[in-house]
Amino acid sequence: MASAESITAVALKPLAGGRVYPDVAPASPTKPYIVYQSVGGVDETTFDGPDTLQNSRMQVAVWATTRAEAATIIKQVRSGLTAAPVLGTPIGAPVSVYEDDTKLYGSRQDFSIWYQE
């Protein structure tokens, strides 16, 4: 059965050296890496019951040692999630972040992904 998580994982696997993790990265991961998680979506339940066409809002965060590397990878994420077969739609533009504790630069963007359940 397809899910937004499985679709996202397959689309992002070629990026960041394959270091793509659901929800949270392992302790002390090699950089750069990508983390993704479902943060909502559009509910398609009607009076007739749930539809097999489902939606998920996937948030993708890239973490790298430089701002330039994070920006480059989030562009690759966008290409991977908006191309066939995913055909996701970006929700807003990437947001740049800096994590003082880890000294990592990040870039985060949300995507609307429709899939057949």
**In which domain, by residue range, is 17 found?**
4-108
Residue in the structure block whose two tokens are 């690759």: 76
| Domains held by the chain: number | 1
Q: What is the pLDDT of residues 63-114, one digit of tens each?
A: 999 999 999 999 999 999 999 989 999 999 999 999 999 999 999 999 999 9
Tokens matching residue 56: 């998920």
The answer as to whether 81 is a domain residue is yes
Asked if residue 21 is part of any domain, the answer here is yes
The string of pLDDT tens digits covering residues 45-73 is 666 666 677 889 999 999 999 999 999 99
47 in any annotated domain: yes
Beta-carbon count within 10 A of 93 CB: 9
CATH number reported for the structural domain that contains residue 64 in this entry? 3.30.2000.30
Other residues' Cβ atoms within 10 Å of the Cβ of residue 95: 13
Could you give the 3-state DSSP secondary structure of residue 80? helix
Q: Is residue 113 part of a domain?
A: no
In a domain, 40, yes or no: yes
Dihedral pair phi/psi, residue 73, rounded to 5°: -70, -35
Sequential DSSP letters for 86-113: T--EEEEEEEEEEETTTTEEEEEEEEEE
